[in-house]
């Protein structure tokens, strides 16, 4: 019996300890919730700015009006007065005020300061209001596919707004009133105030000045060629910070077409990050980089920069035919070096490189340059790209990958790979956000620039830069040439596929370029989907890159080089 009694006392003591010590905080909150009613205090959502402090997403103040039907003494009179102040139907308000199933009902949202001032003068029993924030975007459609937007409840739905929701949202506060059993406020009760914690501000890597240039250039191109879509990214070659990222068509972030789901999905999709396409000849940058590096490493299967590729314009691989766009008439484009092949964009030369290096070696470079996997950019919905498994690749597949077919990439993948190829072989993780900080200046988080991996050597990168500068100076990229400045790049014109077959007359035109060519700082990739009239990357996309670079030169006051 002594043991039994001792056991019972231990149980009781354990229960008391659990209730009074371990469970006490939660029970306190439950009790507080029973004898109080709260007015929400909305936290101010953090701002989004560019790297120079230009505000891209901000807040405007509005109010939410709500009522507790149990505390409303004159329902008809209250409905009539609210109708006058809020310009709403009196019958609708009366129905809301007489709802018995909910202790608290929302009367109106996004109410202006003037209406609230009038409401305050009335001092209606059981009617309350709280401040709310409305998200607005001072630049309208600028960066619309990057910034994203919020829901009606001010929660991030797409883009940066969604990805960094936990930082931007903040934590709401409360104003607590003591009430009786049915929720009516007790006279002379003391209110308790729990302040809201405002959200952190997010500073992007974007340079709004460059962003304006890119968006203006895409608009001009779209007016001239009426494409299905177009996109452009500008990277800092030495950090992979995204300086500009734009898509066409765009939409006004302050007037989001929420009622049309299909249209909304089309307009909000960030094609550079989420869509994939066959890169075509722009991919020859990667094939060239691999060949140059392997030759420097002493691989006998690699071709030297002075090697003369056979003059034949056709290659036959596993029963498939690879042709050059030129018929080589009158000796034109015959006997080409690698530099010449880049200038003229001759496919069979790059087929030779891929096949000579072999599947294993070539796939090592594809992995190093990030194809078939995400770059890790801080944005939702990034595509992996499409890359055949090494185990199933045939020679004909490898041959076509060498010049940018039988592989699909995202714009961000190709831009990062090209940037690594010309910056000395350094591959970084691309970033859209530079830092996260509080209103008082406290910095919560700063993005670090760290080398993810090496792709090629400094020497190979230097050789490649000189070759790509030649493409702009005297090859297919001439329309990107800028007098007095050293620009490098590569054009691309890829056929589109529909239902597994080549779609006749449908192309993706592109150009990837960088400058200064000897010490790269800026890289841009322009991609145009199904331009009308002309479709070559040299005609459609290269002039866009030139205009963007000229805009950056003017914006940053970059002086020409006398030896250019």
> Which are the catalytic amino acids?
281
Smallest CA-to-CA distance from 463 within 319, 247, 290 is with 290
Question: Among all chains, which residue has been given the structure tokens 């066409």?
Answer: 248
* Beta carbons within 10 angstroms of residue 76's beta carbon: 13
Q: Alpha-carbon torsion 314, 402, 499, 218, what sign?
A: negative
Residues 6+ apart with CB under 8 A from 358: 301
Q: What is d(CA 301, CA 278) in angstroms, rounded to the nearest whole number?
A: 27
d(CA 278, CA 529): 11
Pick from 329, 417, 326: nearest CA to 373: 417
**356 CB-contact burial (10 Å; exposed 0-12 / middle 13-18 / buried 19+):** middle
| Contact (Cβ atoms closer than 8 angstroms) between residue 384 and residue 374 | yes
251 close to 209: Cβ distance less than 8 angstroms: no
Number of Cα atoms under 13 Å in the Cβ half of residue 54: 18
Angle between helices 113-122 and 75-86 (to 10 degrees): 150
Burial of 151 from C-beta contacts in 10 A (0-12 / 13-18 / 19+) = middle
What DSSP string describes 365-391?
HHHHTTTTS----SSTT----B---GG
Distance CA 172, CA 408 (A): 45
Three-class SS state of 62: strand
- The strand pair at 488-498 and 451-454 is best described as unpaired
CB under 8 Å to 229, separation ≥6 — which residues?
Answer: 247, 248, 249, 271, 529, 530
Helix (H, G, I), strand (E, B) or coil at 362: helix
* Closest among 217, 228, 143 to 511, alpha carbons compared: 217
**Dist. CA 414–CA 287, nearest whole Å:** 12
């Amino acid at each position: 019996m002594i043991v039994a009694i001792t056991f019972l006392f231990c149980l009781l003591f354990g229960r008391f300890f659990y209730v009074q010590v371990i469970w006490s905080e939660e029970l306190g909150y439950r009790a507080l919730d029973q004898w109080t009613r709260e007015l929400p205090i909305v936290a101010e959502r953090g701002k989004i700015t560019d790297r120079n402090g230009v505000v891209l997403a901000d807040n405007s103040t509005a109010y939410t009006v709500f009522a507790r039907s149990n505390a409303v003494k004159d329902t008809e009179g209250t409905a009539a007065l609210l109708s006058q102040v809020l310009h709403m139907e009196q019958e609708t308000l009366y129905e809301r005020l007489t709802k018995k199933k909910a202790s608290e009902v929302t009367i109106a949202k996004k109410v202006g300061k003037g209406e609230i001032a009038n409401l305050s003068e009335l001092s209606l029993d059981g009617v309350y209001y709280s401040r709310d924030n409305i998200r607005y975007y001072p630049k309208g459609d600028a960066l619309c596919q990057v910034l994203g937007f919020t829901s009606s409840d001010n929660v991030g739905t797409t883009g940066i707004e969604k990805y960094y929701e936990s930082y931007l949202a903040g934590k709401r506060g409360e104003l607590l009133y003591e009430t009786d059993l049915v929720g009516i406020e007790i006279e002379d009760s003391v209110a308790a105030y729990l302040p809201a914690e405002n959200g952190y501000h997010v500073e992007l890597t974007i340079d709004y000045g460059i962003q304006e240039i890119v968006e203006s250039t895409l608009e001009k191109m779209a007016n001239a060629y009426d494409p299905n879509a177009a996109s452009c990214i500008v990277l800092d070659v030495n950090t992979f910070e995204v300086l500009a990222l734009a898509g066409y068509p765009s939409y006004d972030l302050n007037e989001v077409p929420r009622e049309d789901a299909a249209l909304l999905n089309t307009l909000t999709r960030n094609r550079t990050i989420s869509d994939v396409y066959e890169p075509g000849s722009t991919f020859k940058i990667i094939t060239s980089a691999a060949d140059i590096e392997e030759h420097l490493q002493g691989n006998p299967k690699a071709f030297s920069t002075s090697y003369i590729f056979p003059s034949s314009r056709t290659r036959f691989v596993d029963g498939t035919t690879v042709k050059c766009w030129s018929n080589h008439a009158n000796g034109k484009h015959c006997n080409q070096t690698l530099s010449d092949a880049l200038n003229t964009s001759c496919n069979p030369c790059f087929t030779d490189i891929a096949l000579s290096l072999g599947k294993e070696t070539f796939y090592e470079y594809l992995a190093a340059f990030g194809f078939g996997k995400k770059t890790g950019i801080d944005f939702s919905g990034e595509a992996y790209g499409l890359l055949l498994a090494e185990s199933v690749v045939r020679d004909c597949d490898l041959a076509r990958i060498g010049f940018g077919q039988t592989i699909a990439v995202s714009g961000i993948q190709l831009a990062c790979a090209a940037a690594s190829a010309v910056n000395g072989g350094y591959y970084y993780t691309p970033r859209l956000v530079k830092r996260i900080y509080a209103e008082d200046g406290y910095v919560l988080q700063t993005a670090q620039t760290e080398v993810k991996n090496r792709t090629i050597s400094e020497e190979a990168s230097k050789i490649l830069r000189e070759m790509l500068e030649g493409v702009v100076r005297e090859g297919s990229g001439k329309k990107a040439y800028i007098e007095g400045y050293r620009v490098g790049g590569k054009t691309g014109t890829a056929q589109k596929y529909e239902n597994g077959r080549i779609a006749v007359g449908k192309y993706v035109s592109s150009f990837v370029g960088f400058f200064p060519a000897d010490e790269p700082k800026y890289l841009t990739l322009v991609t145009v989907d199904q331009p009308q009239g002309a479709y070559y990357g040299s005609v459609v996309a290269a002039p866009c890159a030139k205009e963007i670079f000229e805009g950056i030169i003017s914006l940053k006051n970059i002086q020409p080089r006398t030896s250019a």
